Amino acid sequence: MLFRIYAHSLSVLLVGTRLVSSAQTSTGVPLVVPPSGQWDGIDGPWSTFNLGVGKPIQSFRCVPGISDPVVMLPLESQECKSTSTNQCRDRTTFFSSRSSTWNETGFAEIPFSVSLEPGFHEHTNGNPETAVWGSENVYFGHNELRDLGVARQFVLEVPNIDFFVGVFGLAVGSVSATGVQRRTLLEELYSASAIPSRSFSYTAGSAKKNTTGSLILGGYDTSRFNESTTLFGALPSPQNTSLYVHIQSIFLSGSKPVSWSSPIGSQPPSFRIDSVLPQIWLPLDACRIFEAALNLTWDDKLQLYLINDTTHANLVQEDPAISFSITNDPRGLFKNFTLPYSSFNLQLFPPLTTTKTYYFPLKRAIKHEQYLLGRAFLQETYITVDYERSTFNLSQAYSNGGSAYMVPILSPSKKTADNATSSGKRIKLSTGASVGIGVGVGVLVLCTIGVLIAGHRTGFRLGQRKSQSHFPKTTDEHDHVQKSELHGESVPKPEAMGVEMVEMPDRDVSEIMGTERVELEGERSELEAVEARCELGGEELPTS
């Protein structure tokens, strides 16, 4: 018999058992993936999230791929072998030969957004670049025993030296390669009841503001965005989950104000929102306007706009802003999303350049299929994607800090027993991470008693307020919601929350909405073990 004990997303794992740590989906619990607390990349820096791959675990700091179906990791490259260790010191590479759980499936094309970059993702003969595909265990963290893991996920080995920071995809459904089919990471988490729906919310954060990224699976945090700016969008189809918006105009403020507008009489062009590529890809005529106004220098080799030190100092002092007038419907209402210069104040690092170099994350799109709002745009915007309702929402982001208001997005196919109490109210939670609980008979008993006493004494604080959210309302959002949060080294201690003991039934992963389960080689996809650690005699759980 397996038990879970909750105290602000605490979970106890008995010795020798396997258990998903985060799911209490009967009350609709979003899964919070804490940021690594580090800033990574050779074209940023960027807020990353911890990812563990293989057995024994190899540790990575990655960014989410909001429209990608696989995990992509840097492979050891010939360029790094031939360059100094200093230039490639921060490029953490995947060594599949060192993992006992790696199962190579063959070579196949690199998917989706990464194929946009012609210099990076295509061979000189014009053919799309391929990568080694394989299946591997993937964890949200660096500890095999403690962190939430998903077995047999597609992992790609990308050898190109420009690929420094790994990517974990958040697309839904399944993906096939070389005759093998796997469900995506988000699909597996939902199928195993680790998240309340196939949905997520994300903002990239900003190093200049010291605002880390935010990633929530199965919900969103209303403290991280301005509801009055929310723009609603629809996914093209259940089969095409790319995120498109239309841009009517772009305005640059400052001493040399300029603007670009879509041609009069024509439909505003559509732009795809993406988190894998960092730059914003605009038509050439738009690039020329901002190039002149900001004194940018185009580098043909890098295919990027560089900024010299003098121009950089002037722009930092002036701090111009760029506003994007965006809609989801060319005939509908446009909303403005504003990015300060700090969002564009980025740097290139070796081996992309010989020394640190300021650059402006603007790219020249050579065809309309390349129009894109990349990770730089997501520094100041917050996106929520609900695959089950085929919708997404885009809002102006707030900096993190203070208390979080977590709202679950519940699946229409998973109505809970107490949905009659739903009123769209939000639960006020202090920002924090999971606290570990010990494993072992004696330690387990002591921890259980301590948590139960704390629960009876304090419970958890609820901050209820009337919902003004413009997000799709579901009649099964709950007044009493706990925030499931994965382990993170860089997050503070949480407040005590209510305590609950749950017996986990022994059953297979259920089928989702009539979707056939994919079973390969007689194995079923399952979540790996999760284990937390508690040290007695440490800090007490706060009582307020």
User: Among candidates 267, 280, 386, 399, which has minimal Cα distance to 334?
Assistant: 267
Q: Which of the two residues, 527 and 82, has the higher pLDDT score? A: 82
Count CB neighbours of 144 within 10 A: 18
Kindly tell me if the per-residue pLDDT of 512 is higher than 70.
Answer: no
The answer to whether 60 and 52 have CB atoms below 8 angstroms apart is yes
Count CB neighbours of 540 within 10 A: 10
Kindly tell me if the per-residue pLDDT of 390 is higher than 70.
Answer: yes
pLDDT of 333: 86
pLDDT of 543: 35
Is residue 405 one of the residues assigned to a domain?
Answer: no
pLDDT of 519: 33
What are 214's two structure tokens?
């935010």
Q: How confident is the model at residue 376 (pLDDT cuts 50, 70, 90)?
A: very high
Whether the bond into 56 is cis, omega within 30 of 0: yes
What are 453's two structure tokens?
């006493």
Kindly tell me if the per-residue pLDDT of 400 is higher than 90.
Answer: no
Is residue 61 one of the residues assigned to a domain?
Answer: no
Kindly tell me if the per-residue pLDDT of 281 is higher than 80.
Answer: yes
User: What residues form DSSP beta bridges with 160?
Assistant: none
What is the phi/psi pair of residue 379, to 5°?
-65, -35
The answer to whether 153 and 71 have CB atoms below 8 angstroms apart is yes
Count CB neighbours of 515 within 10 A: 12
pLDDT of 313: 97
DSSP string, 33-62: E-EEEEEE-SSS-EEEEEEEETTTTEEEEE
Residue span of the structural domain in which 269 resides: 234-397
Across the range 293-318, mean pLDDT stands at 96
What are 200's two structure tokens?
């997520």
Say which residues have a Cβ less than 8 Å from residue 257's Cβ, sequence separation at least 6: 251, 293
Is residue 87 one of the residues assigned to a domain?
Answer: no
The answer to whether 305 and 297 have CB atoms below 8 angstroms apart is yes
Tell me the C-alpha distance between 507 and 60, whole Å: 32
Across the range 407-425, mean pLDDT stands at 62
Kindly tell me if the per-residue pLDDT of 229 is higher than 50.
Answer: yes
Q: How far is CA 43 from CA 238, 300, 386, 530, in A?
A: 33, 17, 30, 34
In the block, tokens 């953490």 appear at 92
Burial class (CB in 10 A: 0-12, 13-18, 19+), 459: middle
Tell me the C-alpha distance between 207 and 211, whole Å: 6
pLDDT of 404: 76
Kindly tell me if the per-residue pLDDT of 43 is higher than 80.
Answer: yes
Is residue 526 one of the residues assigned to a domain?
Answer: no
Tell me the C-alpha distance between 487 and 244, whole Å: 33
Say which residues have a Cβ less than 8 Å from residue 93's Cβ, sequence separation at least 6: 73, 74, 75, 76, 77, 80
| 407 HSE (CA, 13 A, CB side) | 29
Kindly tell me if the per-residue pLDDT of 288 is higher than 80.
Answer: yes
User: What residues form DSSP beta bridges with 386?
Assistant: 199, 391
The length of the chain in residues reads 544
Say which residues have a Cβ less than 8 Å from residue 445's Cβ, sequence separation at least 6: none
- Sign of the CA dihedral 99, 105, 109, 111? negative
Burial class (CB in 10 A: 0-12, 13-18, 19+), 249: middle
Q: Work out the percent of the chain whose per-residue pLDDT is above 90.
A: 51
Q: What is the CA radius of gyration of the chain?
A: 23
pLDDT of 160: 79
Is residue 322 one of the residues assigned to a domain?
Answer: yes
Across the range 225-250, mean pLDDT stands at 92
Is residue 7 one of the residues assigned to a domain?
Answer: no
Across the range 379-407, mean pLDDT stands at 90
Across the range 399-422, mean pLDDT stands at 68
Q: How confident is the model at residue 170 (pLDDT cuts 50, 70, 90)?
A: very high
What is the phi/psi pair of residue 23, to 5°?
-90, 115
Across the range 152-177, mean pLDDT stands at 90
The answer to whether 31 and 170 have CB atoms below 8 angstroms apart is no
Kindly tell me if the per-residue pLDDT of 309 is higher than 80.
Answer: yes
Per-residue pLDDT tens digits for 15-35:
222 333 333 334 488 999 999
Say which residues have a Cβ less than 8 Å from residue 154's Cβ, sequence separation at least 6: 69, 70, 71, 105, 133, 134, 135, 175, 177, 182
Largest CA distance in the chain: 74
Tell me the C-alpha distance between 57 and 73, whole Å: 14
Q: How confident is the model at residue 428 (pLDDT cuts 50, 70, 90)?
A: very low
For β-strands 58-65 and 166-169, DSSP reports them as parallel
Kindly tell me if the per-residue pLDDT of 478 is higher than 90.
Answer: no
User: What residues form DSSP beta bridges with 75?
Assistant: 94
User: Among candidates 233, 264, 268, 230, which has minimal Cα distance to 248?
Assistant: 268
Kindly tell me if the per-residue pLDDT of 450 is higher than 80.
Answer: no
Burial class (CB in 10 A: 0-12, 13-18, 19+), 228: exposed
What is the phi/psi pair of residue 181, to 5°?
-120, 135
pLDDT of 162: 77
- Chain centre to alpha carbon of residue 4: 26
**Alpha helix positions (H), 414-495:** 441-458
Q: Which of the two residues, 175 and 305, has the higher pLDDT score? A: 305
What are 392's two structure tokens?
């997404």
pLDDT of 539: 35
Among the listed ranges 3-7, 234-238, 240-244, 433-437, which one has the minimum average pLDDT value?
A: 3-7
Kindly tell me if the per-residue pLDDT of 454 is higher than 90.
Answer: no
Mean pLDDT over each residue of the chain, to the nearest integer: 74
End-to-end CA distance of the chain: 33
Kindly tell me if the per-residue pLDDT of 349 is higher than 70.
Answer: yes
pLDDT of 164: 87
The DSSP letter of residue 66 is: T
Q: How confident is the model at residue 161 (pLDDT cuts 50, 70, 90)?
A: confident
- Prediction pTM value: 0.74
What is the phi/psi pair of residue 193, to 5°?
60, 30
Q: The CATH number of the domain where 259 resides is what?
A: 2.40.70.10
pLDDT of 402: 57
Per-residue pLDDT tens digits for 122-142:
443 456 678 999 999 999 999
Tell me the C-alpha distance between 90 and 93, whole Å: 9
Kindly tell me if the per-residue pLDDT of 220 is higher than 50.
Answer: yes
Tell me the C-alpha distance between 66 and 248, whole Å: 24
Q: Work out the percent of the chain whose per-residue pLDDT is above 70.
A: 64
Kindly tell me if the per-residue pLDDT of 432 is higher than 70.
Answer: no
Kindly tell me if the per-residue pLDDT of 408 is higher than 50.
Answer: yes
Q: How confident is the model at residue 439 (pLDDT cuts 50, 70, 90)?
A: very low
Q: How confident is the model at residue 421 (pLDDT cuts 50, 70, 90)?
A: very low
Whether the bond into 45 is cis, omega within 30 of 0: yes
Q: Which of the two residues, 104 and 163, has the higher pLDDT score? A: 104
User: How many structural domains comprise the chain?
Assistant: 1
Name the E strands within 195-293: 199-203, 214-217, 219-221, 225-234, 244-252, 258-261, 270-273, 280-282
pLDDT of 263: 86
Across the range 179-193, mean pLDDT stands at 94
Q: Which of the two residues, 480 and 209, has the higher pLDDT score? A: 209
Kindly tell me if the per-residue pLDDT of 87 is higher than 50.
Answer: yes
pLDDT of 237: 84
Is residue 456 one of the residues assigned to a domain?
Answer: no
Name the E strands within 398-475: 403-408, 427-430
Is residue 253 one of the residues assigned to a domain?
Answer: yes
